[in-house]
Amino acid sequence: MANPAVRIGARGVTRRFGAVLANDAIDFSAVPGAIRGVVGGNGAGKTTLMRILQGLEQPDEGAVVLNDEPVTLADPADAFARGVGMVHQEFMLVDELTLLENLILGREPVGPGGVIDRDKALDEARRLALSAGVELDWGLKVSEAPVHVRQIVEILRLLYRGADVLILDEPTAVLAPQQVRDLLNLLRRLRDEGRTILFISHKLDEVLTVCDAITVLRAGKVVASTTPAEANAGRLAELMVGETVDFPRRVPQTRAVEAPLLSLRGVKALDSRGVERLAGIDLDLRPGEVVGIAGVSGSGQDEIVAVTTGLRRAAAGRVTIAGKDATSLSVAARRAAGLGYISADRAHEGLCLAESIAANVVAGRHRARPFARGGLLRPRTIREHARKALDRFGVIYRDCGDAARNLSGGNQQRVVIARELDRQPRALIAAQPTRGVDIAGAAFIHRQILAFAASGGAVLLVSEELEELLTLADRIVVLHRGAIVGEVAGAERSIGRIGRMMLGEAA
Amino acid sequence: MIDYVLAAAALLTTPLLLTAIGGLINRLGGIVNLGLEAMMLTGAYVALAMSSATQSWLVALLAALAAGGAVGLLFSLAVTRLEANEIVAGVGLNVATAGLIGFILKDYYHSSGTIRLPDVVMLPRIVLPGVAQIPIAGAILSGKDPLTWLSWALVPITAFVLSRTRAGLRLRAAGAAREAATALGLRPLAIRDASTIVAGALAGLAGAQLSIGVVGVFSVGMSGGRAFIALAAFYFGRNRPGLTAVGAALFGLFDAIQIYLQGRGVAPELMQMLPYIVVLVVLTAIGVGERKRRLLQGV
C-alpha cells in the first residue's frame, strides 16, 4: 500500500449518551510515522473517542478514517485486523499466565497436536524485545512482573500481532521518571520505523516532549490542534479547562516538636507467598504535616496504606494513631481513633457505588447518633446531613438518594473526601487522591488536603504524580523494594533526585 | 484386609477422579460446575440402558460420554449465553435430572427407584498376570476396569494439555481474564462451553463406571453426592491435576475403609459419614491455612 496521508483519524464523529454529547463532530488525523497527542480533562470525550477508534462503540454520526478512507469498525478484532491496537490503562494481560504466554495468546506457534512450539515462540519474543531495546524474563508470571514490564509486554504484543497503529491510554501514569523516559524513547523508535502512535495523556510536559502534533479536547469538542512548537504547558492547560486554573502552592515546613498523630515503627508486611513487601518502615506524621510517599508502583506504597488502615495486619512492628497503639485494632477501631482514608480504588474500596450518595456520606457512622437511634436508621437526618456535606465539598448531584455510580468520577471522589473529612479525623491517608479527576477537581482536592493540614491534621499522601507530591508535601519519603531509601524536604526536592531514588540509585 | 481395602479404594476413586478432572478443566475455563451430579447420573442411566440394548460395554461408554457432554452443553449455554447464575443453574439441573430420570423409571420400567435390565454387559476387568499375585500392587493395579486406567492416564495428559498446548493456554486465558481474551480475538464463551462439554462427558463416564462398572444396576440415588466430593477434590488440588488426584484418592480410600468396617459391628449409618467427614476436615484445614495467609496479605 502506498503511504496514506491519514493513517488513522476521525471525520465529524459524534456520539451521544442520552442528552450528553460525549463526542461532538470530532475531526482529527494522524499521519504515518508520527506521534499524535490527545489531551483533555475528565469528560472531555477522550475515552469515548478511543473506544470508537477501537470499534468498541459506533459513532452516531461521522466515521473513523483509516488510510484516507471512512470505515465502519465492527469490533476490536476488526480494528485489529486493520492494524489498530490499543494499550489500555488497565492492562489487558492475563495475570495467571507468563509473559511469553501472554505475548503469543491468540497467535500461538504450534506443532502437531496443537502443542505450542516454545522455542519458536521464545525466539520471536527475544527478537521483538531486542528490536525494542529491552530485556525481559519471559518465563515470569504477569502477576509477578513490575508494572513497566507489563506495559512493555502489552506494546510488544501489539507488534507481535502486526499492529502499526498504537493507541496508548495514559501510558506513563504508573511509571517512574526514568521509566517514562525509556518508554518515550521506545515510542520514538517505533515512530521512526513508520508506525503511527496516538498518545493519550494529561501529563502535558510528556505530551510536549514526545508528540509531533497535539489535539486538545474539551467537553466533547476539538478545541485546538497544535504542535509542541506552537504551544506550552500553560496554554494547553488553559485550552483543556477553558480558563486558567489556580493550583494551591505551599511552602514546605518542618515540624519536629509536637507528638506524632500517626507513627509506624519497624512495620513489616508479607505477600501471599511469604515474601517480604515492607522491610521495617519507620515513619512519623506530626500535626499540620503533609508527608508524601514516592516510589515506583509496587514498591510498598499499597502495603503501607493497608497496614496503616488495618486492611492488612502487619507481620511485625507497631502502628500508633494519635498516641494510641493501633497495631492489632480493627479498621473500625482505627477510624474511631482518628484515622481517615481516601482509597486509591474508588470503585471498590472508596465507595459503594450501588448505594445512595447519602448512605455513602455517612457510611461508617451509620450506627451512631444522630444517624441511628435504637438500632434504626433515621433517613431524614442522614439525607439532611449528607446534603450539607455534599454542598460544602462542591459535589454536583441530582438527588442524594441516587446511587453513587450515577456520579462522574470526579464527583465520586469528592463524595469520598466529603465523607472522610466530615468525620474530622486527626490523620488522613490519601492514596492517589486525584486519580481520574480533571484539573479543576484536582485543584479543589489539593485545597481540601492543605486546609485539613492547616487545621492541625496530619496527611500521608501516596501519589504516582510526582508533581502532586512536590506541590503538597512538606517532605517526601521515597520507597524502593519495600524500604525507605531516602527522604527529601524543603528546597532539595527535585524530580530528578527523587526519580533516581525511586530506582534504588544513590541520590 | 489391606488388599481388600486398596482394591476397593482404586475402584471407588475412579468416578471421583474422572469427575474431578472434568470439573478442574471447567473451573480453569471459568465455570464452577455444580451440575456435574446431573451429568454423572445421566451417564449412569444411559450406560446401563445402552449396555442392555446393545450388549456392548464400549457402545454403552460412548453413549454415556455423549449424554453427559450433551447435558453439560445445555448447562453451559444456560450459564454463558442466558447468563443464568451458575450455582442456581447447577443445583436446579441436579434436581430436575433426578426428577426426570425418576419419572422415566416409574413410567417406563414401573420401578420405584432401582432397575435391573436383562443382558447387561459389564465393564471388563483387566487382570494383569504376574502382577495380580503381588501383595498391595496387585490389589491396586490388577482387576481394574478400563475407566480406572483412563482416569489415571488423564492426570498427566491433562497436566500436559493445560500447560503445553494451544487449547490449554486459551482455556486458562478464557477462564482467568475474559475481557483480555476477547480483546485478543478469542471467543471465551465458546471456550467455556467446550470445557463444560468435556466436564460433562467425563462425569458421564464416571456415571457409567457406577452403573456398569461395579454393580450392574441403576438407581436414582446412585451418584450419591459424588460430584460434590469431586468438587472438593479439585478445590483441594488448586487446579493442579496431580494434587486433585490425591484428593480423589483420599476420599476413595476412606470410602473403602468405611465399607470394610460396616460389616464389623459399627453402625453403618455412622460409618457412611466417614469419608464425608474426612472431606470436611481436609477442606477446613485448607480454609484455616488460607485465612492465616490472607490476614497477612490483606483482603
Question: Does B299 score more than 50 pLDDT?
Answer: no
* Residue among B17, B7, B30 nearest B242 (CA): B17
Q: Do A270 and B184 touch (CB under 8 A)?
A: no
A101 — contact with chain B (CB < 8 Å)? yes
Nearest residue of chain B to residue A268 (CA atoms): B296
Residue B251 host element (H or E): helix B241-262
More confident residue, A241 or B14: B14
Cα A180 to Cα A172: distance, rounded to the nearest angstrom:
6
Whether A311 contacts chain B with CB within 8 A: yes
Instruction: Give the nearest partner residue to A93 out of B180, B182, B298, using CB atoms.
Output: B180
Q: What is the rounded distance in angstroms from the CA atom of residue B200 to the CA atom of residue B64?
A: 10
Closest approach of A315 to chain B, Cα-based (Å): 6
* Alpha helical stretches, state H, A343-481: 357-362, 379-392, 409-422, 439-454, 466-472
Q: Which residues of chain A have pLDDT under 50?
A: 1
Average pLDDT over residues B221-225: 89
HEC string of A200-256? Answer: ECCCHHHHHHHCCEEEEEECCEEEEEECCCCCCHHHHHHHHHCCCCCCCCCCCCCCC
Res A256: pLDDT:
60
CA angle A330, A334, A339 (to 5 degrees): 150
Encode burial over B30-66: b for 16+ CB neighbours within 10 A, e otherwise: bbebbbbbbbbbbbbbbbbbbbbeeeebeebbbbbbb
Give the pLDDT score at A245. Answer: 57
Residue A74, chain B, CB below 8 Å: the answer is no
Residues of chain A positioned with their CB less than 8 A from the CB of B173: 94, 97, 101, 105
Q: Is A112 on the interface with B (CB under 8 A)?
A: no
pLDDT of residue B161: 96
**B227-260 pLDDT, tens digit each:** 999 998 988 888 899 999 999 999 899 989 888 8
Q: Using the beta-carbon criterion (under 8 Å), do A116 and B179 form an inter-chain contact? A: no
For residue B226, the number of C-alpha atoms closer than 13 Å in the C-beta half-sphere is: 28
Say if the Cβ atoms of A271 and B184 lie within 8 Å.
Answer: no
Helix (H, G, I), strand (E, B) or coil at A280: strand
Nearest Cα residue to A161 out of A187, A197, A193, A125: A125
Residue A220: left if φ>0, alpha if ψ -120 to 50, beta else—which one?
A: left
Of B126 and A251, more confident: B126
Which residue segments constitute the domains of chain B, with CATH numbers given? 2-298 (1.10.3470)
ipTM: 0.85
Task: Give A311-368 pLDDT, tens digit per residue.
Answer: 988 999 999 999 999 999 999 999 999 999 999 888 888 999 999 999 999 998 888 8
A16-45 burial, b at 16+ Cβ within 10 Å, e below that, comes to eeeeebbbbebebbbbbbbbbbbbbbbbbb
User: Does residue B202 surpass a pLDDT of 60?
Assistant: yes
